[in-house]
């Protein structure tokens, strides 16, 4: 079975002198109730850049252009107890975008201080890779989940220089 191709974008802004990241509480589907990054599946015939621009618009009402995406790296999520959930994720950051975050059927977006991520409300794996991406690190992560499909069995990465 091949891992699903998905993409995430973490929009960043400076607000009142502090850097913030846009995350959202998932309202439906995979990860309902968790605070997650904005993104989703790459549809057949779409590039990852096209997919993330579409997903950001659909989920948050914000427009980001492909040329404004900042490639951050990848995260390969492995669910040994549920291989159908395996995901190969391309991660982008974005600092140039238009519009205001608005709730959609899928996501309730909210800006969070980069230094105060709501880790207790997120997937347990996020603390392994998200802070590195948000602080400018670039690389490739492989996260293997435990049989509970929630906690992390292992997290390995290679950083780009």
Which domain does 127 fall in, by range?
A: 4-95+107-159
The residue ranges of DSSP E strands in the chain, in sequence order, are: 4-15, 18-26, 35-36, 38-41, 69-78, 87-94, 107-113, 139-145, 152-159
The predicted pLDDT at position 1 comes to 60
Instruction: Tell me the whole-structure pTM to 2 decimals.
Output: 0.92
The predicted pLDDT at position 80 comes to 94
Rounded distance between C-alpha atoms, residue 98 and residue 118, angstroms: 25
CATH number of the domain enclosing 46:
3.90.79.10
The two beta strands, 87-94 and 4-15, are parallel
Number of domains observed in the structure of the chain: 1
Taking the alpha carbons of 134, 135, 137, 138 in that order, is the dihedral positive or negative?
A: positive
The string of pLDDT tens digits covering residues 94-110 is 999 999 999 999 999 99
Rounded distance between C-alpha atoms, residue 28 and residue 101, angstroms: 18
In a domain, 101, yes or no: no
3-state secondary structure 139-158: EEEEEEECCCCCCEEEEEEE
The string of pLDDT tens digits covering residues 3-51 is 889 999 999 999 999 999 999 999 998 889 999 999 999 999 999 999 9
Q: Tell how far CA 132 is from the center of its chain.
A: 13
pLDDT-derived band of residue 161, with 50, 70 and 90 as boundaries?
A: low
């Amino acid at each position: 079975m091949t891992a699903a191709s998905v993409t995430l974008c973490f929009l960043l802004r400076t607000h009142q002198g502090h850097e913030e990241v846009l995350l959202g509480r998932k309202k439906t589907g995979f990860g309902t109730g968790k605070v997650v990054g904005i993104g989703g599946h790459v549809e057949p015939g779409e590039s990852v850049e096209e997919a993330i621009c579409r997903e950001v618009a659909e989920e948050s009402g914000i427009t980001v252009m492909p040329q404004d995406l900042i490639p951050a790296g990848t995260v390969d999520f492995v669910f040994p107890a549920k291989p159908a959930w395996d995901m190969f994720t391309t991660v982008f950051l974005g600092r140039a975008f238009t519009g205001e975050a608005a709730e959609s059927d899928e996501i309730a977006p909210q800006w969070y201080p980069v230094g105060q991520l709501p880790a207790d409300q997120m997937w347990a794996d996020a603390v392994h890779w998200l802070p590195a991406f948000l602080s400018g690190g670039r690389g490739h992560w492989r996260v293997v989940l435990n049989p509970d499909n929630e906690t992390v069995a292992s997290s390995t990465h290679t950083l780009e220089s």
